[in-house]
């Protein structure tokens, strides 16, 4: 990995020398760019408040992301449109079935033998556990080597909400209860409208390759409610339980770094 | 000329079979089984799964295990169609290699309290309604009546049909859902078969505390 990075930087420096004679022409000349980057997400407000159903939602306040699809088109000297797509992952998301089992064990383990199952056992995100896509307006200010790109993106944050189920075999008793947590929707993926202003700045290594830092803040509002139903397995009698509501404003700070590659 | 035509017509089913057959399914062996005996034991369901026990059991966690011994009693004659094999090949869905169909089946299961169970159930009362059939692996219950109803699966086989001789021994878990008022208890299990035979066995005395 290190060798690849060094090789890439060497190529970039070579390119810098090649184009170094003509740096004045680098500004505001590119029309098409692509901007792959990796970054981390840090919470400004937290999604979870310690409910038993928290692990059923494929989200983590702390996560990392890979922006693997990105395209920017500058239709004028200063203004352009930008599209990007990010896959977000976190170890907290990938082990959420284990966390759900543990939270049930903590809640019921004193009186019951707990056997948990959930949709989280079977869901594996192929392009990250959460997906975010934005389309936005980008503005550019370019100096000789430095550049600043403020941007506003509108898009969607898509995350999964799984069902959860546990059989509770009571100790010293023939009683078996089935506890079910349901997000109450046939569709497991929830899409949330997201606004994401950001500032991208960096250094031009060459006419075609820039190194950049991306600072983004984003907002979306969650709208999910989990209901709990407890069923006596012997007589199938249902008892509605508490509901867990996730109507929250989620503000996130994202810090990323990557390369801008000028295509044209 | 006429003979040639007849031969061509007769060869059509054979050709059709060759055209559609792609599976090499084994011939199904068909057998019958019959119920031979039962063994009843006390169960302690205090833990995660019921376990056979003696002596005393928490009264909210009591159950009875009935173990059926079944034996293969006959091999049925193979039914071979004139032209076609028993397996056809559009889906390559071969029939099971072995089917063991019941020669007799259980038509009723009754549990009687040998001692006074509660004020409304003196000794020798039928307390079957207080028991439920329990499937420990699925953590699910069903009533004795529903358990005795045959179920046909998606391949058209009854749940009474076995596909392996290891299934000949069957355990039935009956859990007591309403505990008795008296401590000392003893139960008589009476099982009637479709051919009129009745299996009856009484448990040892047990303290339900």
Inter-chain residue contact B177 with A234, CB threshold 8 Å: yes
Q: What's the pLDDT score for residue A20?
A: 47
Residues A113 and A141 in one domain: yes
Q: Determine the structural domain holding residue A154 and report its residue range.
A: 31-262
Residues A220 and A199 in one domain: yes
Q: What's the pLDDT score for residue B21?
A: 58
Q: Quick one: which of A252, A212, A194, A254 has its CA closest to A34?
A: A212
A117/A168 Cα distance (integer angstroms): 12
A59/A252 Cα distance (integer angstroms): 12
- pLDDT tens-digit readout, B178-207: 999 888 999 999 999 999 999 999 999 999
Q: What's the pLDDT score for residue A109?
A: 95
| Residue B58 with chain A: CB contacts under 8 Å | 172-173
CATH of the domain at A209: 2.40.160.20
Residues A185 and A245 in one domain: yes
Confidence of residue A3 (pLDDT cuts 50, 70, 90): low
Average pLDDT of chain B is 85
Best of A174, A177, A179 to substitute, by most chain B Cβ atoms within 10 angstroms, is A174
Residues A38 and A145 in one domain: yes
Distances (CA, A) of A4 to A1, A60, B131: 5, 30, 70
Task: Name the residue with higher pLDDT: B58 or B73.
Answer: B58
Rounded to 5 degrees, what are φ and ψ at B146? -65, -35
Residues A123 and A240 in one domain: yes
Average pLDDT estimate for B72-89:
61
Residues A15 and A36 in one domain: no
| Residue A234 with chain B: CB contacts under 8 Å | 132, 141, 177
Q: What's the pLDDT score for residue B91?
A: 56
- pLDDT tens-digit readout, B21-34: 556 677 778 888 99
Task: Name the residue with higher pLDDT: A142 or B89.
Answer: A142
Residues A61 and A183 in one domain: yes
| Residue A174 with chain B: CB contacts under 8 Å | 45, 60-63, 134, 175-177
Considering only the beta carbons, identify the residue of B48, B140, B176 that sits closest to A174.
B176
Average pLDDT estimate for A200-219:
92
Residues A157 and A38 in one domain: yes
Residues A21 and A98 in one domain: no
| Residue A113 with chain B: CB contacts under 8 Å | 47-48
First-to-final CA distance of chain A: 28
Residues A23 and A58 in one domain: no
Report ipTM (2 d.p.): 0.79
Is the pLDDT at B99 greater than 60? The verdict is yes
Q: What's the pLDDT score for residue B202?
A: 94
B61 touches chain A (CB under 8 A): yes
Average pLDDT estimate for A17-24:
52
Beta carbons of B206 and B57 less than 8 angstroms apart: yes
Is the pLDDT at A129 greater than 50? The verdict is yes
Beta carbons of A167 and A210 less than 8 angstroms apart: no
Q: Quick one: which of A132, A136, A36, A39 has its CA closest to A87?
A: A132
Residues A64 and A191 in one domain: yes
Best of B49, B64, B129, B139 to substitute, by most chain A Cβ atoms within 10 angstroms, is B139
- pLDDT tens-digit readout, B148-186: 988 888 878 888 888 888 888 889 999 999 999 888 999
Average pLDDT estimate for B110-137:
93
Residues A9 and A120 in one domain: no
Task: Name the residue with higher pLDDT: B152 or A149.
Answer: A149
Is the pLDDT at A80 greater than 60? The verdict is yes
Inter-chain residue contact A174 with B45, CB threshold 8 Å: yes
- List the single residue in A with minimal CA-CA distance to B133: A234
Residue partners of B28: CB distance under 8 A and separation at least 6: B86, B95, B96, B97, B98, B99
Is the pLDDT at A211 greater than 70? The verdict is yes
Confidence of residue A230 (pLDDT cuts 50, 70, 90): very high
Q: CA dihedral in degrees (B108, B111, B112, B117; nearest 10)?
A: -140
Query: Is residue B148 within a helix (H) or strand (E), and if so which, with residue range?
Result: helix B144-148
Which residue has tokens 């205090």? B46
CB pairs < 8 Å spanning A and B: 37
What is the domain count for chain A?
2
Q: What's the pLDDT score for residue B68?
A: 92
Beta carbons of B54 and B204 less than 8 angstroms apart: yes
Inter-chain residue contact B60 with A174, CB threshold 8 Å: yes
Q: What's the pLDDT score for residue A120?
A: 81
Considering only the beta carbons, identify the residue of B48, B62, B132 that sits closest to A169.
B48
Stretch among A26-40, A96-110, A122-136, A157-171 having the lowest mean pLDDT: A122-136
| Residue B175 with chain A: CB contacts under 8 Å | 174
Exposed e or buried b for every residue in B144-179, given b needs 16+ CB within 10 A?
beebeeeeeeeeebeeebbeeeeebeeebbbbbbeb
Is the pLDDT at A153 greater than 80? The verdict is yes
């Amino acid at each position: 990995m290190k060798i690849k990075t060094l090789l890439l930087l060497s190529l970039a420096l070579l390119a810098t020398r090649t184009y170094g004679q003509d740096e004045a022409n680098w500004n505001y000349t590119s029309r098409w760019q692509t901007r792959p980057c990796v970054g981390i997400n840090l919470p400004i407000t937290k999604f979870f408040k310690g409910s038993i159903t928290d692990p059923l939602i494929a989200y983590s306040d702390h996560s990392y992301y890979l922006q693997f699809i990105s395209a920017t088109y500058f239709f004028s000297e200063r203004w352009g449109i930008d599209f990007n797509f990010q896959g977000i992952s976190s170890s907290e998301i990938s082990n959420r079935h284990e966390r759900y089992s543990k939270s049930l064990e903590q809640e019921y383990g004193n009186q019951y033998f707990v056997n948990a199952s959930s949709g989280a056992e079977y869901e594996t995100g192929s392009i990250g556990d959460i997906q975010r896509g934005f389309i936005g307006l980008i503005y550019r200010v370019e100096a000789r080597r430095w550049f600043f790109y403020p941007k506003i993106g509108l898009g969607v944050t898509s995350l999964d909400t799984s069902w959860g189920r546990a059989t509770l075999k009571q100790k010293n008793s023939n009683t078996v209860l089935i506890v079910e947590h349901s997000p109450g929707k046939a569709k497991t993926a929830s899409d949330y409208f997201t606004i994401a202003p950001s500032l991208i700045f960096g250094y031009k290594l060459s006419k075609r390759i820039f190194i950049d830092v991306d600072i983004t803040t984003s907002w979306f509002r969650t709208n999910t409610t989990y209901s709990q139903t407890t069923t006596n397995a012997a007589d199938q009698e249902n008892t509605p339980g508490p509901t867990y509501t996730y109507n929250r404003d989620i503000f996130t700070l994202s810090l990323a770094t990557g390369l801008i590659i000028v295509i044209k | 000329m006429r003979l040639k035509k007849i031969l061509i017509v007769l060869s059509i089913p054979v050709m059709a079979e060759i055209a559609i057959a792609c599976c090499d399914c084994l011939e199904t062996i068909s057998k019958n089984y019959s119920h031979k005996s039962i063994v009843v034991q006390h169960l302690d369901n205090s833990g995660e799964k019921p376990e056979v026990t003696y002596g005393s059991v928490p009264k909210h966690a009591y159950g009875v295990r009935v173990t059926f011994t079944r034996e293969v009693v006959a091999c049925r004659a193979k039914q071979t169609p004139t032209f076609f094999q028993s397996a056809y090949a559009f889906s390559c869905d071969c029939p099971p290699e072995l089917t063991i169909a019941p020669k007799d089946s259980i038509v009723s299961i009754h549990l009687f309290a040998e001692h006074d169970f509660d004020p409304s159930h003196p000794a020798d009362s039928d307390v079957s309604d207080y028991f439920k059939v329990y499937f420990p692996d699925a953590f699910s219950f069903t009533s004795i009546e529903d358990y005795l109803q045959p179920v046909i699966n998606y391949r058209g086989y009854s749940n009474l049909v076995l596909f392996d001789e290891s299934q000949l021994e069957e355990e039935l878990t009956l859990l007591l859902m309403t505990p008795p008022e008296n401590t000392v208890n003893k139960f008589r299990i009476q099982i009637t078969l479709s051919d009129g035979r009745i299996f009856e066995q009484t448990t040892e005395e047990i303290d339900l505390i």
